[in-house]
Structure 1
Amino acid sequence: MEAGIDEAGRGPVIGPMVIAIVAVDDQGKLRALGVRDSKKLSPGRRRYLFGEVIRLASCAKHVLVPPGEIDRYVVANQLNELEMEKMIELIQSCNADVVYVDSPDPKPERFGNRLEAATGRRVIAMNEADALIPVVSAASIVAKVIRDGEIDKLKKQYGDFGSGYPSDPRTTSFLASWVKEHGTLPPIVRRTWKTVDRLLGGMDKYLT
């Protein structure tokens, strides 16, 4: 049994990060489906493959990491540590002999060794594993589709804020307009992101 782990939403200033694990008994089945890094798939294709991956997987689980929890780790410069902790939970929740991980650490062997020590499983951590290992591609699809669903829910509650990424003008416009109207940031925002500092310079009182 082989499993893969990947995340979606590490970089956005709005919304949760989602980390997912998928385990299968034959990666060839995933390869035959045409799984790829979720970023290289259209939304419609991702949703289709999501259903197929869930059907084939012996285990498919995810965790949602809200903005407030992300901020607490970023303040301590421990975002990779946060991912480590969540990945340990996921690995322990699925039966797999080998776990492939898309490593957030530029030294993936170091990251993988720590996961092995914590879980007792064989872990192979790689950079860009979502583009190389089918079961990690499958996990990236699950994470991305789940996050997209969460973002859709937030938009129904807060209005259209675009992609939620700092480079999106709709996102920065939403943040500026929200603060102007409400005098504070909504709880869906990661307050430790540099985007917030740049956009709201001189408005530190709203970040406490």
Structure 2
Amino acid sequence: MSATRSNPMSKPPSLRVERAMLRDGLTHLAACDEVGRGALCGPVTIGVVVISEATRTAPQGVRDSKLLTPEARLRLVPKIRRWALCSAVGHATPAEIDDIGIIAALRLAGQRALAQLTVAPDGVLLDGNHDYLSPPQQAGLFGEPEERYPVGVRVPPVTTMIKADLKCAAVAAASILAKTTRDALMVELHDEHPDYCWAENKGYASPAHIDALSRLGPSAHHRRSWSLPGVDPDVDVEAVLAGLESDA
């Protein structure tokens, strides 16, 4: 089996964007990506790697984690950890997602990852078009008490970039760390709740997952504030399944 899944956008990413940001005055750049945002259960997870202008080209084979086989992702993890100046992964639990919402939970997971870094970045490159890492201008809004967040974490200026995980090697590396760490957690949880088949679907919607939800209801690891297919009668299960088939 090929290590890289067939995809028209599978051209290898580079450090061109990251190096331009570092030449523009940054000393240490953090590259971040998330995984688990669209799952039905389990945590939302943020991966981060820190690089400098002296950082070498990323390990061969680094791509957006979605374009790699599970085996290829696992082989790359130790290479990425040796390559980056430092790296970390942070999570927010399903209960926290239910309590404060997915955007605030992404912020919480990201700041937990930043808190683990041994090298403080002075800039962040974030996949997507929304800066969920920076604190809201008015703390305490929307159910976000400040005590949830790691003490002493300073979020440096954030630059967002759509499809950065496809174009930027450091962001792709962060996505691999996030994906492999979260997948391992879901495999562990599968042993507690095998009916939901989390070892295969990693908490995302799948026919087996939806069937178990309809028979058993949600577990303690499901996002109970969400409209879960198989549980919420207003969710069109056939449409969800048709969407899964179109993505295959």
For the aligned pair, the TM-score class normalised by the smaller chain equals 0.7 to 0.9
Residue segments in structure 2 that go unaligned for 5+ positions in a row: 1-27, 138-152, 235-248
Higher mean displacement: 37-46 or 187-196: 187-196
8 Å Cα contact 1:112-1:125 kept in structure 2: no
> Residues 17 and 82 from structure 1, CA distance in 2 versus in 1: closer, same or farther, beyond 3 angstroms?
closer
One-letter amino acid of the counterpart of residue 165, structure 1: Y
State the distance in 1 between where 2:29 and 2:43 align.
Answer: 27
Q: Distance in 1 between matches of 2:133 and 2:43?
A: 27
Match of 1:90 among 107, 110, 113: 113
Number of equivalent positions = 185
**TM-score, normalising length from structure 2?**
0.66
In the alignment, does 2:231 pair up with 1:199?
yes
Alignment of 1:100 onto 2:128 = no
Displacement after TM superposition at 1:5 (Å): 0.8
Counterpart CA distance in 1 for 2:81 and 2:212 is 34
CA–CA distance in structure 2, aligned partners of residues 132 and 113 of structure 1: 20
Indicate which of 184, 189, 204 corresponds to 1:165. 204
Q: What stretches of structure 1 of length at least 5 have no aligned partner?
A: 180-184, 203-208
Out of 179, 183, 188, the residue aligned to residue 144 of structure 1 is 179
Q: Contact (CA 8 Å) 1:5, 1:100: kept in 2 or not?
A: yes
How far apart are 1:188 and its partner, in Å? 0.9
Q: For the residues of structure 2 that align with 1:44 and 1:23, how far apart are their CA atoms?
A: 24
Q: 1:15–1:46: structure 2 CA closer, same or farther, 3 Å change rule?
A: same
1:2 to 5, 29, 41: 29
2:104 corresponds to 1:81: yes
What does 1:1-208 align with in structure 2 at a 5 Å threshold? 1-25=28-52, 26=54, 28-30=56-58, 32-74=59-101, 79-94=102-117, 95-103=120-128, 106=129, 108=130, 111=131, 114=134, 119=154, 121-162=156-197, 163=201, 164-166=203-205, 168-179=206-217, 185-196=218-229, 199-201=231-233
8 A Cα contact 1:176 1:200, kept in partner: no
Bigger RCO (CA 8 Å, 6+ sep): 1
Query: 1:23-46 CA distances to partner (integer Å, 9 max, x unpaired)?
Result: 12355421x423111000000000
Relative to structure 2, which stretch is displaced further, 144-153 or 154-163? 154-163
Q: Percent identity?
A: 28
2:228 counterpart SS class:
helix
Equivalents in 1 of 2:169, 2:37: separation in Å? Answer: 21
What one-letter code is carried by the residue in structure 2 that aligns with 1:96?
Answer: P
Compute the displacement of 1:18 (Å). 1.1
